[in-house]
């Protein structure tokens, strides 16, 4: 067989991370289902990594088999598990989990706070991102607006409790008003997003009939329907 037949490449892909705060699988399932149902198009058949760094010794009470079954039942794809104590690793492997190394958070330079898959400390209503948001990065700010001074790349994800402002090309997925703020809006200099959502109402850009693709645009919610209009 030629060596060219099989090729393995490293590739950065957007993967959701389930940060466990409790070993109670029933509670985990309930919370995960609520997240999935809020934006089903975003999460169905989505790869999922489980992070146990917040559990500590409570990880020993986690039923790894039941956790995996719950994730699969909800339509996610369990990629692997990370940050579990050595004493729990054998149990996790026997339940079918792949063991992942801890991932170094590649911070987006902003205000000295972590950026990727980490909630931002509450207390400010605007979070400013000074550099591009790269493919595979997630910016999560549940306490207010997110302002990106440059562009966002395909494969990135922005989640804001308030509005989202992008002073460049908007690509990837952007979710505003993630806690139900129907007054939240999305503003960008060049609309190229894969998915836009406000307060759980989402649309794939390919499904939207608009001549504003690639143009400065504003997205807002009118009733339960997303509207798009020129910025200028």
Closest by Cα among 199, 230, 204 to 217 = 230
pLDDT tier at 14, thresholds 50, 70, 90? low
Look at residue 10 in the predicted model and tell me its pLDDT. Answer: 42
- Can you tell me which residue has the tokens 């940060």? 19
Q: Please tell me which residue, 110 or 154, carries the higher pLDDT value.
A: 154
Any idea which architecture 126-230 has in CATH? 3 Solenoid (2.160)
- Rounded Cα gap, residues 68 and 47, in angstroms: 12
Query: Using one digit for the tens of pLDDT, what is the confidence trace for 34-72?
Result: 888 876 666 767 778 898 988 888 999 999 999 999 999
Look at residue 223 in the predicted model and tell me its pLDDT. Answer: 85
Q: Which residues pair with 198 in a beta bridge?
A: 176, 201
Q: What is the pTM of this model?
A: 0.55
Domain ranges of the chain: 16-100, 126-230
Asked whether the beta carbons of 58 and 23 are under 8 A apart, the reply is yes
Percent of the chain with pLDDT over 90: 31
Q: Between β-strands 186-191 and 157-160, what pairing exists: parallel, antiparallel or unpaired?
A: unpaired
pLDDT tier at 113, thresholds 50, 70, 90? very low
Query: Using one digit for the tens of pLDDT, what is the confidence trace for 196-213?
Result: 989 888 888 777 667 778
Helices 25-38 and 64-73: crossing angle in degrees, nearest 10, is 20
Query: Using one digit for the tens of pLDDT, what is the confidence trace for 144-198?
Result: 899 999 999 998 999 998 999 999 999 999 999 888 889 999 999 999 998 898 9
- Rounded Cα gap, residues 97 and 182, in angstroms: 39
Phi-psi region of 188 (alpha: psi -120 to 50; beta: other; left: phi over 0): beta
The CATH number corresponding to 16-100 among 2.30.110.20, 2.70.98.30, 3.30.2290.10, 3.30.70.260 equals 3.30.70.260
Query: Using one digit for the tens of pLDDT, what is the confidence trace for 80-106?
Result: 888 888 888 889 888 888 887 765 443
């Amino acid at each position: 067989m030629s060596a060219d037949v099989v090729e393995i490449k490293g590739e950065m892909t957007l993967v959701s991370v389930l940060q466990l705060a409790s070993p109670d699988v029933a509670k985990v399932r309930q919370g995960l289902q609520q997240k999935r149902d809020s934006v089903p198009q975003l999460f169905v058949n989505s790869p999922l990594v489980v992070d146990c760094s917040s559990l500590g010794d409570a990880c020993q009470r986690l039923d790894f088999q039941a956790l995996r079954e719950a994730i699969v039942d909800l339509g996610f794809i369990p990629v692997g598990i990370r940050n579990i104590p050595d004493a729990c690793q054998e149990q996790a492997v026997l339940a079918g989990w792949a063991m992942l190394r801890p991932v170094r958070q590649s911070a987006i330079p902003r205000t000295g706070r972590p950026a990727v898959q980490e909630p931002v400390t509450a207390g400010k209503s605007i979070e400013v991102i000074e550099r591009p948001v790269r493919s595979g990065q997630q910016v999560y700010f549940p306490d207010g607006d997110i302002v990106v001074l440059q562009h966002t790349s395909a494969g990135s994800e922005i989640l804001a409790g308030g509005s989202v402002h992008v002073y460049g090309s908007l690509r990837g997925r952007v979710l505003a008003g993630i806690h139900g703020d129907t007054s939240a809006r999305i503003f960008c200099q060049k609309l190229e997003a894969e998915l836009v959502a406000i307060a759980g109402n989402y649309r794939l850009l390919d499904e939207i009939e608009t001549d504003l693709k690639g143009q400065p645009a504003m997205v807002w919610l009118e009733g339960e329907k997303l509207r798009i209009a020129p910025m200028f």
